[in-house]
Amino acid sequence: MKPEQIETYRTIAAAAGVIATLGLFSVLYKENKFYRLFEHIFLGLAAGWSAVAVWTESLREIWWDKLTGVVETTGVVTEPGRWAYILLIPIGAMGYMVFSKKHNWMAKIPMGVLLGIWSGQQIQSYWTVYGPQMKQGMLPIVPTAFDQVIARSDRTPELAAVTITWSQAISNFLFVFTLLSVLSYFLFSFEVKNKALKQVNVAGRYLLMIGFGAIFGSTVMMRFSLVIDRMYFIWDEFLMKRVLHIG
């Protein structure tokens, strides 16, 4: 393609992106057919891309290559084929029997296989995932360096590992208190009658609200970052560079 044809193509692509962005954002005003059109286009593109991605990034590597084997361009077999993987075809096909009223019971077989494999993997990896979290929750709350409020920059790594300053002790105490109070909020096995435990229970509820509020705030910030990115695309990539030819 000629350079001017490439620029024309890029301008058309940028204009299509701007129209699609405005169409999707038009739902903020109200439900309309313009939004519905681009919603269906977006979902169609996402479905098509996902179908290709499932094959190229998942099935081809972990199933097809192992089934047929891998042969280099020189003709050397780097990985022999294992025809036992062909048994996965009928197992996977059973999942589509959910659309049949007569044979929908067959769809439960692959689901049971998947749940069994997943359960075994979760039991095996439970300690690997949650063990470090439990260890990180056991923090020291008594300072060992009473003459230091904050960590000093001249400490060696070995000394820093065993030195707990006042600021670290306070931070660790707040963490442990938050952990225990939130856990006490989920004590549903028995009725809480102790007044002190009730107060800790209430504190755990408020701390949960603070945590959920922080998560919600980060979610809103992420949404705004998407809006800012699209506005930058409309203003800089399309309007300034493609229309006004500035920059």
Q: Which residue from 146, 184, 185 is spatially nearest to 167, judged by alpha carbons? A: 146
pLDDT score, position 40: 95
Percent of the chain, pLDDT > 70? 91
pLDDT score, position 32: 93
CA distances from residue 172 to 155, 169, 187, 201 in whole angstroms, order as listed: 20, 5, 23, 20
Largest CA distance in the chain: 81
Whole-number Å distance between alpha carbons of 19 and 30: 17
Own/partner contacts of 106-109, CB < 8 Å, gap of 24 or more, are: none
Interval 164-179 mean pLDDT: 84
CA distances from residue 202 to 145, 177, 209 in whole angstroms, order as listed: 33, 13, 11
* Six token digits for residue 226: 């998407």
Give tens-digit pLDDT for 110-143: 999 889 988 888 887 887 887 787 777 777 777 7
H helices, E strands: number in the chain: 8, 2
Whole-number Å distance between alpha carbons of 170 and 225: 34
pLDDT score, position 15: 92
Task: State the DSSP string of 20-84.
Answer: HHHHHHGGGT---HHHHHHHHHHHHHHHHHHHHHHIIIIIIIIIIHHHH-EE-TTS-EEE---GG
pLDDT score, position 189: 61
SS3 letters across 194-225: CHHHHHHHHHHHHHHHHHHHHHHHHHHHHHHH
pLDDT score, position 161: 56
Mean pLDDT for the chain overall: 85
Q: Indicate if the pLDDT at residue 147 is higher than 70.
A: no
- What residues are paired with 71 via a beta bridge? 77
Single pTM value for the model: 0.58
pLDDT score, position 53: 94
pLDDT score, position 244: 84
- What residues are paired with 79 via a beta bridge? 70
Interval 64-86 mean pLDDT: 84
Tell me how long the chain is. Answer: 247
pLDDT score, position 214: 93
More confident residue, 2 or 152: 2
pLDDT category at 33 given cuts 50, 70, 90 is: very high
Whole-number Å distance between alpha carbons of 37 and 35: 5
Q: Indicate if the pLDDT at residue 149 is higher than 60.
A: no
Interval 179-197 mean pLDDT: 79
Interval 81-106 mean pLDDT: 89
pLDDT score, position 155: 60
* Six token digits for residue 67: 């089934």
Q: Indicate if the pLDDT at residue 145 is higher than 80.
A: no
